[in-house]
Amino acid sequence: MTSASLPRAGLVVVQPLRRKHCARCRRGPQPLLVLEDGAPRCPDCADLGHLVFLPRGDTALTRRAREESTLWAVVVRFNRRKGRYERQGLLVEEGALARAERRCLADAEARRRRRVRDARRRAAQDARFVAAFAAEIRRLYPGCPAERALAVAAHAAERGSGRVGRSAAGRALSEGAVTSAVAASVRHRETPYDHLLMAGVARPEARRRIAPAVQSVLRSWRETGAEAVAGPRPTAEAAAEAG
Protein backbone atom coordinates (compact mmCIF):
# COMPACT_ATOMS: atom_id res chain seq x y z
CA MET A 1 0.00 0.00 0.00
CA THR A 2 1.69 3.20 -1.19
CA SER A 3 0.39 6.74 -1.06
CA ALA A 4 1.50 7.33 -4.66
CA SER A 5 -0.95 4.71 -5.92
CA LEU A 6 -3.94 5.93 -3.91
CA PRO A 7 -6.54 8.41 -5.14
CA ARG A 8 -5.35 11.94 -4.41
CA ALA A 9 -8.64 13.78 -3.87
CA GLY A 10 -10.16 14.01 -0.36
CA LEU A 11 -9.84 11.61 2.55
CA VAL A 12 -9.13 8.03 1.51
CA VAL A 13 -9.58 4.87 3.60
CA VAL A 14 -8.24 1.53 2.39
CA GLN A 15 -9.65 -1.98 2.73
CA PRO A 16 -6.32 -3.86 3.01
CA LEU A 17 -5.85 -7.12 1.14
CA ARG A 18 -3.50 -8.45 3.84
CA ARG A 19 -3.87 -8.62 7.62
CA LYS A 20 -2.56 -5.31 8.93
CA HIS A 21 -2.44 -3.64 12.34
CA CYS A 22 -2.66 0.00 13.29
CA ALA A 23 0.80 1.51 13.70
CA ARG A 24 -0.39 3.66 16.64
CA CYS A 25 -2.68 1.51 18.82
CA ARG A 26 -1.35 -1.82 17.49
CA ARG A 27 -4.85 -3.27 17.29
CA GLY A 28 -5.79 -5.49 14.40
CA PRO A 29 -6.04 -6.90 11.93
CA GLN A 30 -8.01 -3.87 10.78
CA PRO A 31 -10.73 -4.01 8.09
CA LEU A 32 -10.09 -0.34 7.26
CA LEU A 33 -6.88 1.69 7.39
CA VAL A 34 -5.81 5.28 6.74
CA LEU A 35 -2.28 5.96 5.50
CA GLU A 36 -0.73 8.83 7.49
CA ASP A 37 2.93 9.77 7.01
CA GLY A 38 3.52 6.38 5.40
CA ALA A 39 2.08 4.42 8.37
CA PRO A 40 -1.30 2.69 8.59
CA ARG A 41 -3.79 4.03 11.15
CA CYS A 42 -7.11 2.54 12.15
CA PRO A 43 -10.19 4.80 11.75
CA ASP A 44 -10.30 5.49 15.51
CA CYS A 45 -6.70 6.70 15.58
CA ALA A 46 -7.36 8.76 12.43
CA ASP A 47 -10.41 10.41 14.05
CA LEU A 48 -12.76 8.68 11.62
CA GLY A 49 -14.08 6.00 13.96
CA HIS A 50 -17.48 7.70 14.35
CA LEU A 51 -18.25 7.34 10.64
CA VAL A 52 -20.33 4.47 9.18
CA PHE A 53 -19.68 2.57 5.95
CA LEU A 54 -22.01 3.08 3.00
CA PRO A 55 -21.29 0.51 0.23
CA ARG A 56 -21.32 1.66 -3.38
CA GLY A 57 -24.26 0.79 -5.60
CA ASP A 58 -26.96 3.36 -4.84
CA THR A 59 -25.88 6.52 -6.66
CA ALA A 60 -28.57 8.77 -5.24
CA LEU A 61 -28.02 7.63 -1.66
CA THR A 62 -24.25 8.00 -1.99
CA ARG A 63 -24.52 11.50 -3.41
CA ARG A 64 -26.99 12.66 -0.78
CA ALA A 65 -25.09 11.10 2.12
CA ARG A 66 -21.97 12.92 0.95
CA GLU A 67 -23.91 16.18 0.73
CA GLU A 68 -25.35 15.73 4.22
CA SER A 69 -22.09 14.69 5.90
CA THR A 70 -19.68 17.33 7.17
CA LEU A 71 -16.88 14.74 7.24
CA TRP A 72 -16.66 11.85 4.80
CA ALA A 73 -14.03 9.61 3.23
CA VAL A 74 -13.77 7.42 0.13
CA VAL A 75 -13.19 3.70 0.81
CA VAL A 76 -11.03 1.90 -1.77
CA ARG A 77 -9.54 -1.54 -2.29
CA PHE A 78 -6.67 -2.54 -4.55
CA ASN A 79 -7.57 -4.70 -7.56
CA ARG A 80 -4.50 -6.81 -8.31
CA ARG A 81 -5.72 -7.88 -11.73
CA LYS A 82 -6.29 -4.31 -12.93
CA GLY A 83 -3.39 -2.85 -10.96
CA ARG A 84 -5.38 0.01 -9.44
CA TYR A 85 -7.48 1.05 -6.47
CA GLU A 86 -11.25 0.89 -6.92
CA ARG A 87 -13.97 2.60 -4.91
CA GLN A 88 -15.95 0.41 -2.53
CA GLY A 89 -18.10 3.06 -0.90
CA LEU A 90 -17.97 5.95 1.56
CA LEU A 91 -17.55 6.55 5.27
CA VAL A 92 -20.15 9.12 6.32
CA GLU A 93 -21.70 10.45 9.52
CA GLU A 94 -24.50 8.23 10.81
CA GLY A 95 -26.95 11.14 11.04
CA ALA A 96 -26.09 12.20 7.50
CA LEU A 97 -26.85 8.71 6.22
CA ALA A 98 -30.22 8.70 7.97
CA ARG A 99 -31.14 12.07 6.45
CA ALA A 100 -30.02 10.88 3.00
CA GLU A 101 -32.15 7.74 3.33
CA ARG A 102 -35.22 9.84 4.18
CA ARG A 103 -34.61 12.03 1.11
CA CYS A 104 -34.33 8.97 -1.11
CA LEU A 105 -37.54 7.45 0.25
CA ALA A 106 -39.40 10.69 -0.42
CA ASP A 107 -38.76 10.61 -4.17
CA ALA A 108 -38.15 6.89 -4.76
CA GLU A 109 -41.00 6.49 -7.28
CA ALA A 110 -39.90 9.49 -9.34
CA ARG A 111 -36.35 8.18 -9.48
CA ARG A 112 -37.61 4.70 -10.46
CA ARG A 113 -39.53 6.15 -13.39
CA ARG A 114 -36.48 8.15 -14.45
CA ARG A 115 -34.31 5.03 -14.33
CA VAL A 116 -36.78 3.21 -16.59
CA ARG A 117 -36.75 6.09 -19.08
CA ASP A 118 -32.96 6.29 -19.00
CA ALA A 119 -32.64 2.52 -19.52
CA ARG A 120 -34.89 2.66 -22.59
CA ARG A 121 -32.95 5.60 -24.00
CA ARG A 122 -29.60 3.83 -23.48
CA ALA A 123 -30.94 0.64 -25.06
CA ALA A 124 -32.02 2.56 -28.16
CA GLN A 125 -28.66 4.33 -28.35
CA ASP A 126 -26.82 1.03 -27.98
CA ALA A 127 -28.90 -0.62 -30.72
CA ARG A 128 -28.10 2.20 -33.14
CA PHE A 129 -24.43 2.09 -32.25
CA VAL A 130 -24.19 -1.70 -32.68
CA ALA A 131 -25.87 -1.40 -36.09
CA ALA A 132 -23.39 1.32 -37.14
CA PHE A 133 -20.44 -0.71 -35.84
CA ALA A 134 -21.64 -3.82 -37.68
CA ALA A 135 -22.12 -1.81 -40.89
CA GLU A 136 -18.56 -0.55 -40.64
CA ILE A 137 -17.30 -4.10 -40.13
CA ARG A 138 -19.10 -5.12 -43.31
CA ARG A 139 -17.67 -2.13 -45.17
CA LEU A 140 -14.10 -2.99 -44.17
CA TYR A 141 -14.59 -6.77 -44.35
CA PRO A 142 -17.35 -7.48 -46.90
CA GLY A 143 -16.67 -11.20 -46.69
CA CYS A 144 -17.60 -11.28 -43.00
CA PRO A 145 -21.08 -12.83 -42.63
CA ALA A 146 -23.70 -10.30 -41.59
CA GLU A 147 -24.71 -12.22 -38.48
CA ARG A 148 -21.07 -12.53 -37.45
CA ALA A 149 -20.52 -8.80 -37.92
CA LEU A 150 -23.52 -8.07 -35.72
CA ALA A 151 -22.28 -10.46 -33.02
CA VAL A 152 -18.80 -8.90 -33.06
CA ALA A 153 -20.28 -5.42 -32.84
CA ALA A 154 -22.59 -6.33 -29.96
CA HIS A 155 -19.71 -7.93 -28.03
CA ALA A 156 -17.29 -5.06 -28.63
CA ALA A 157 -19.84 -2.38 -27.76
CA GLU A 158 -21.30 -3.92 -24.60
CA ARG A 159 -21.87 -1.10 -22.12
CA GLY A 160 -19.58 -1.28 -19.08
CA SER A 161 -17.35 -3.96 -20.62
CA GLY A 162 -14.33 -1.75 -21.23
CA ARG A 163 -13.91 -3.36 -24.66
CA VAL A 164 -12.67 -1.56 -27.74
CA GLY A 165 -16.17 -0.58 -28.84
CA ARG A 166 -16.57 1.52 -25.71
CA SER A 167 -13.32 3.40 -26.25
CA ALA A 168 -13.20 6.85 -27.86
CA ALA A 169 -11.79 5.28 -31.03
CA GLY A 170 -14.54 2.66 -31.03
CA ARG A 171 -17.30 5.21 -30.59
CA ALA A 172 -15.82 7.13 -33.52
CA LEU A 173 -15.87 3.92 -35.61
CA SER A 174 -12.16 4.26 -36.36
CA GLU A 175 -10.74 1.60 -38.66
CA GLY A 176 -8.20 0.54 -36.04
CA ALA A 177 -10.85 -0.03 -33.38
CA VAL A 178 -13.14 -1.94 -35.75
CA THR A 179 -10.28 -4.10 -36.99
CA SER A 180 -9.21 -4.80 -33.41
CA ALA A 181 -12.71 -6.04 -32.55
CA VAL A 182 -12.88 -8.28 -35.61
CA ALA A 183 -9.38 -9.65 -35.03
CA ALA A 184 -10.24 -10.49 -31.42
CA SER A 185 -13.27 -12.47 -32.55
CA VAL A 186 -11.24 -14.34 -35.18
CA ARG A 187 -8.52 -15.04 -32.64
CA HIS A 188 -10.92 -16.88 -30.35
CA ARG A 189 -13.13 -18.60 -32.94
CA GLU A 190 -10.95 -19.41 -35.94
CA THR A 191 -7.62 -20.23 -34.27
CA PRO A 192 -6.38 -22.52 -31.45
CA TYR A 193 -5.58 -19.44 -29.33
CA ASP A 194 -7.77 -20.45 -26.38
CA HIS A 195 -6.33 -23.98 -26.39
CA LEU A 196 -2.80 -22.56 -26.32
CA LEU A 197 -3.65 -20.45 -23.29
CA MET A 198 -5.17 -23.46 -21.52
CA ALA A 199 -2.02 -25.42 -22.31
CA GLY A 200 0.04 -22.83 -20.44
CA VAL A 201 1.46 -20.91 -23.38
CA ALA A 202 2.14 -17.30 -22.44
CA ARG A 203 -0.31 -14.85 -23.99
CA PRO A 204 2.27 -12.91 -26.08
CA GLU A 205 3.67 -16.16 -27.46
CA ALA A 206 0.20 -17.57 -28.14
CA ARG A 207 -0.71 -14.42 -30.06
CA ARG A 208 2.50 -14.63 -32.06
CA ARG A 209 1.76 -18.21 -33.07
CA ILE A 210 -1.77 -17.56 -34.29
CA ALA A 211 -1.11 -14.14 -35.88
CA PRO A 212 -0.71 -15.54 -39.43
CA ALA A 213 -4.02 -17.39 -39.17
CA VAL A 214 -5.80 -14.25 -37.94
CA GLN A 215 -4.36 -12.19 -40.79
CA SER A 216 -5.36 -14.86 -43.28
CA VAL A 217 -9.01 -14.72 -42.20
CA LEU A 218 -9.02 -10.93 -42.17
CA ARG A 219 -7.48 -10.82 -45.64
CA SER A 220 -10.05 -13.30 -46.92
CA TRP A 221 -12.94 -11.29 -45.48
CA ARG A 222 -11.49 -8.05 -46.83
CA GLU A 223 -11.15 -9.42 -50.37
CA THR A 224 -14.18 -11.70 -50.63
CA GLY A 225 -17.23 -9.91 -52.01
CA ALA A 226 -15.51 -6.53 -52.09
CA GLU A 227 -16.78 -5.92 -55.61
CA ALA A 228 -20.39 -6.22 -54.48
CA VAL A 229 -20.12 -3.72 -51.66
CA ALA A 230 -20.90 -0.10 -52.41
CA GLY A 231 -22.13 2.97 -50.61
CA PRO A 232 -20.63 5.56 -48.29
CA ARG A 233 -18.94 4.86 -44.99
CA PRO A 234 -21.49 4.76 -42.14
CA THR A 235 -21.38 7.84 -39.95
CA ALA A 236 -20.41 7.87 -36.29
CA GLU A 237 -23.58 9.74 -35.27
CA ALA A 238 -24.99 6.74 -33.43
CA ALA A 239 -21.59 6.11 -31.87
CA ALA A 240 -21.48 9.62 -30.45
CA GLU A 241 -24.86 9.05 -28.79
CA ALA A 242 -23.65 5.82 -27.15
CA GLY A 243 -21.05 7.61 -25.04
Predicted confidence (pLDDT) per residue in 30-45, tens digit: 999 999 888 999 999 9
Tens digit of each residue's pLDDT (9 = 90 or more) over 136-149: 999 999 999 999 99
Residue pair 54/61 in contact by the 8 Å Cβ criterion: yes
| Least confident segment among 77-81, 172-176, 179-183, 226-230 | 226-230
* Average pLDDT of the residues of the chain: 87
Q: Taking the complete model, does pTM exceed 0.75, yes or no? A: no
Higher pLDDT pick, 51 / 24 = 51
Range 49-53 average pLDDT: 94
Cα–Cα distance between 202 and 23 in angstroms, integer?
41
Q: What is the pLDDT of residue 95?
A: 95
Task: Determine the pLDDT at residue 134.
Answer: 95
The lowest-confidence range among 16-20, 96-100, 211-215, 232-236 is 232-236
Q: Given a cut of 70, is residue 9 above it in pLDDT?
A: no
CB 101 within 8 A of CB 204: no
Q: Is the pLDDT of residue 175 over 70?
A: yes
Separation CA 4–CA 41 (nearest Å): 17
Task: State whether residue 164 is helix, strand or coil.
Answer: helix
Question: How many angstroms separate the CA atoms of 212 and 199, rounded?
Answer: 20
CA-CA distance, 57 to 45, in Å (whole number)?
Answer: 28
What is the DSSP pairing of strand 84-93 with strand 73-79? antiparallel
Cα dist. 177→147, 152, 169 in Å? 19, 12, 6
Give bridge partners of residue 77 from the DSSP assignment. 86
Q: If we measure between CA atoms, which residue out of 125, 162, 165, 171 comes closest to residue 149?
A: 165
> What are the two backbone dihedrals, phi and then psi, of residue 161, each rounded to the nearest 5 degrees?
-80, -25
